[in-house]
Amino acid sequence: MMKTPLLLVVAITAFLLGAFSTSQAADERPNILWIIADDMSAHFSCYGEKTIQTPHVDALAERGSLFSNAYVTAPVCSTNRSAFVTGMYQTSIGAHQHRSGRGELKIQLPDGIRLVPELFQEAGYYTAIAQWPLNGKLGKTDYNFEWDPAAYDSADWAGRKKDQPFFAQIQIKGGKLRGAARDTTEKFVERMEPIHGPRTAMADVVLPPYYPYTEDIIFDWAAYLDSVRETDRVVGDIVQTLADRGELENTVVLFMTDHGISHARGKQYCYDEGLHVPLVIAGPGVPTETRHDLVEHIDIAALSLGLAGIAIPDYMQARDILADDYTARDYVFAARDRCDETVERIRSVRSDRFKYIRNYYPERPHLSPNNYKDNKLIYQSLRAAHQAGELTEQQEEVLFAPTRQPEELYDLDADPWEMTNLAGDPTYQQALLTLRQRLDTWIEETGDQGDESEEMWASDMAAYLKGFDRKGKANPDGKANVQRNIEQMKAWKKAGK
């Protein structure tokens, strides 16, 4: 037999040692866990909420990083989820219309764009997406494009190989727990009382100044705060599960929500009530600090890859906000487009002081008809107060004006509730021009895909209407209402509104 040349022996040995050390290093990489709650703003005590206490999220913040100025890039679930799972603006990848690509016409991601769990898989991580409590069922995805379910290995990271790191998401209901109607909300609160003690007192509720203190709106807000308490308890249970499994010390936990509270100026809108969200991160490699710089929720994609030592793709618009060489953002951006049957197009940019909003359909009212929202108790109460003349002049203006201004500008230092539009005030023209230009640049540089094609809209509306005929869940009234709203959208477009 021929003797193996010495150089070849050395090369093989070096390769094997390198492979072994790489395997060992991979075993020691941190686990990454995203906890994502629906429909919830930053109403936690660590963010300054006084009416309730949230000890578990507070504890997470105390041992990690709390971001006081975290903003979603879309104020509704499917578009924002499509953004943060790719680390891309939803407007750049064509996923910016809510619940789109659900009909005959499908949406494909641009070439080369990958899902974050796919990148983790390729790096040797086990990937999971779960409901809570862990029950073997996959958690919410709600992405607006075609994707391979194999991106997730299972609904529980417990199935991974020994010492294999995991990347997991746990989806929890958050603000959706309280329901939309009075009876379902009351049932939720009753279920919570044995767990949390007395329900949040309606007398303790403090509303934003643009909402009237009607009984139903106060009742709903108190129940919402109870949903925050329950969300906090669930976060505590998840952290305890990690501890019980011996995984906590090597797991980075990210707590966040997919957008703000579902209300008249929250979910679906580009005011801070819809965009400002909690972001708390704790675990190995995460400093203990409170950060006040502006960050975008898509940044969780890049920072998660960075913590795991995985290369961040060059195409990714997310930034690793935990990197040593990170440069803070001067602006954060957001977009709202069609939600269900309601056609809309809004863009916004925010600095640390000013918010600029552009309404592409200013001839349409703020509260355009929408079956999903119009069936909520709070919307019905608002409309009743409006019809009874019980709203202040400013409440009428921001909620029920029949048209809107094409541009809105708010000085957030003086007007944190965004109620006084300064776009026409000469004193603030420089701020207006600066943010207007910055938004134009962002739209161009990121390839904002703008309005939906008529063909895609028709395809998705057909699928949406068909959903009201599902066996056992038929809803002819809802279907008729959506059809009326669709006809209203067509009429407005024909009229040039």
pLDDT score for 369: 97
**Which pair of structure tokens corresponds to residue 58?**
């507070």
Orientation angle between helical segments 377-387 and 215-244, nearest 10 degrees: 160
pLDDT in tens, 17-67: 444 444 444 469 999 999 999 999 999 999 999 999 999 999 999 999 999
**Mean pLDDT taken over the chain:** 95
Q: Let me know if residue 383 belongs to a domain.
A: yes
Q: Let me know if residue 482 belongs to a domain.
A: no
Residue 260 scores a pLDDT above 90? yes
The two beta strands, 126-131 and 295-296, are: unpaired
pLDDT score for 27: 64
pLDDT score for 391: 98
pLDDT in tens, 98-116: 999 999 999 999 999 999 9
The C-alpha atoms of residue 150 and residue 117 are separated, in whole angstroms, by: 9
Which residues face 129 on adjacent strands? 169
Q: Let me know if residue 320 belongs to a domain.
A: yes
* Residue written as token pair 């996923």: 95
Q: Let me know if residue 266 belongs to a domain.
A: yes
Q: Let me know if residue 351 belongs to a domain.
A: yes
Q: Let me know if residue 259 belongs to a domain.
A: yes
Q: Let me know if residue 470 belongs to a domain.
A: no
pLDDT score for 26: 45
Number of neighbours of residue 207 by Cβ within 10 angstroms: 13
63 contacts 282 by C-beta, under 8 angstroms: yes
pLDDT band at 6 (very low <50, low <70, confident <90, very high): very low
Residue 69 scores a pLDDT above 60? yes
**CATH number, domain with residue 378:** 3.40.720.10
Number of neighbours of residue 19 by Cβ within 10 angstroms: 10
Type and span of the H or E element at 141: none
The three state secondary structure string of 233-263 is: HHHHHHHHHHHHCCCHHHEEEEEEECCCCCC
The C-alpha atoms of residue 230 and residue 191 are separated, in whole angstroms, by: 11
**Which pair of structure tokens corresponds to residue 351?**
């600095």
Contacts of 30 (CB under 8 A, 6+ apart): 165, 250, 251, 252, 283, 284, 285, 307, 308
Number of neighbours of residue 486 by Cβ within 10 angstroms: 21
Split into its structural domains, the chain has a count of: 1
The two beta strands, 346-350 and 332-336, are: antiparallel
pLDDT band at 13 (very low <50, low <70, confident <90, very high): very low
Q: Of 285, 256, 286, which Cα lies nearest the Cα of 35?
A: 256
In the three-class reduction of DSSP (H, G, I as helix; E, B as strand; rest coil), residue 147 is classed as: coil
Average pLDDT over residues 124-140: 97
pLDDT in tens, 431-490: 999 999 999 999 999 999 999 999 999 999 999 999 999 988 899 999 999 999 999 999
Q: Let me know if residue 43 belongs to a domain.
A: yes
Q: Which domain holds residue 315?
A: 28-452
pLDDT in tens, 315-362: 999 999 999 999 999 999 999 999 999 999 999 999 999 999 999 999
Number of neighbours of residue 413 by Cβ within 10 angstroms: 9
pLDDT score for 22: 43
